[in-house]
Amino acid sequence: MVVAAGKFKAKCLSYIDEVNQTHHELIITKHGVPKAKLVPINSEPIEHFGFMKGTAVLNGDIISTGEKWDANNE
């Protein structure tokens, strides 16, 4: 949603409530140029540790390259 700064100034409290309820961001413009963004706050903090758990897939041996190395020749 996009709104002009003058309109936002007049109705800022209702826009804050609307963003909180809809969870959509609001872009505030000045002379048609985006200047600010009003975004909802997440009610739950993001847990960074382990947030990508289960997103990787292992295909075969991840250590062996299948190539013979000079170090293997004794």
Q: Which CATH code is given to the segment(s) 1-41?
A: 3.40.1620.10
> Residue 44's pLDDT is what?
62
> Residue 43's pLDDT is what?
59
> Residue 74's pLDDT is what?
57
What are the mean pLDDT values of the chain's consecutive 10-residue runs (74 residues total)? 96 94 93 95 72 81 74 62
> Exposed/middle/buried for 27, CB within 10 Å: 0-12, 13-18, 19+?
middle
3-class SS letters over 42-73: CCCCCCCCCCCCCCCCCCCCCCCCCCCCHHHC
Is the Cα dihedral 34, 1, 10, 6 positive or negative? positive
> Residue 48's pLDDT is what?
77
pTM, 2 dp:
0.56
Per the listing, tokens 């709104």 go with: 3
